[in-house]
């Protein structure tokens, strides 16, 4: 239900399922929100009607780490995801680790700085991150105000978020490039 809208029959079925299972009078009587949780020593109950501050306190104290059990899945459902995540992290660490120049092959003798310079060059020249930044006002002006609806609003919001992200990426990459060229002092933040 992207953007909070029901756009097809599958979205409608999902929303109906939520409404039938969660939105009931029992929601005001400490209903259990986690499915199939009996005997698993885990619980998330709706708090009794109270003040705003108490709701915030309940959320902060009751919501623990995310677990597959909260979605009715087996605890092993998370193992594959975490394994892949660890492999990606370790492969990235190995890719940027300094290489021994005695190794043969294509990447022999490359240091961390060489690899970082290649990555910076790729972002600045090949990918051209600066050229990908949208002019949000220009996009808004091209839209017909009479045709503007919820999908167009979500589209504009996504463009705004992407513009912020790309602008920060371009700024930080240029900062790192200037630091490697000696024009800026490399800080811990960089």
Question: Is residue 106's pLDDT more than 60?
Answer: no
Tokens for 164?
């912020």
* Residue 39: predicted pLDDT: 79
Place of tokens 């929303």: 15
Who's near 99: CB < 8 A, 6+ residues apart?
107, 108, 109, 110, 111
- Other CB atoms within 10 Å distance of the CB of residue 53: 8
pLDDT digits (tens, 9 = 90+) for 113-132: 788 888 888 888 888 888 88
* Residue 109: predicted pLDDT: 64
* Residue 112: predicted pLDDT: 73
How does residue 107 score in pLDDT terms, banded at 50, 70 and 90?
low
pLDDT digits (tens, 9 = 90+) for 132-164: 888 888 988 888 888 788 888 888 889 999 999
Question: Is residue 89's pLDDT more than 90?
Answer: yes
Question: Is residue 3's pLDDT more than 60?
Answer: no
* Residue 35: predicted pLDDT: 73
Is there a contact between 163 and 113 (Cβ–Cβ < 8 Å)? Answer: no
How does residue 52 score in pLDDT terms, banded at 50, 70 and 90?
very high
Who's near 176: CB < 8 A, 6+ residues apart?
116, 120, 186, 190
CA–CA dist 122, 129 (Å, integer): 9
* Residue 51: predicted pLDDT: 92
* Residue 4: predicted pLDDT: 67
Give the phi and the psi of residue 171 in degrees, each rounded to 5. Answer: -65, -45
Average pLDDT along the chain: 82
Q: pTM of the prediction?
A: 0.44
Q: What count of residues does the chain have?
A: 190
């Amino acid at each position: 239900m992207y953007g909070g809208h029901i756009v097809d029959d599958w979205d409608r079925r999902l929303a109906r399922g939520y409404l039938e299972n969660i939105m009931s009078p029992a929601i005001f009587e400490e209903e259990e929100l986690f499915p199939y949780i009996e005997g698993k020593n885990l619980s998330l109950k709706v708090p009794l009607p109270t003040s705003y501050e108490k709701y915030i306190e309940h959320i902060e104290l009751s919501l623990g780490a995310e677990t597959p059990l909260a979605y009715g899945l087996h605890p092993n459902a998370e193992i594959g995801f975490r394994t892949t995540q660890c492999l990606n992290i370790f492969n990235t660490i190995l890719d940027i680790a300094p290489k021994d120049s005695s190794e043969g092959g294509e990447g022999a003798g490359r240091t961390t700085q060489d690899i970082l310079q290649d990555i910076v060059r790729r972002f600045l020249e090949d990918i051209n991150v600066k050229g990908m930044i949208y002019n949000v006002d220009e996009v808004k002006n091209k839209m017909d105000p009479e045709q503007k609806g919820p999908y167009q609003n979500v589209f504009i919001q996504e463009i705004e978020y992407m513009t912020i992200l790309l602008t920060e990426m371009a700024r930080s990459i240029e900062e790192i490039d200037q630091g490697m060229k000696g024009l800026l002092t490399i800080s811990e933040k960089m």
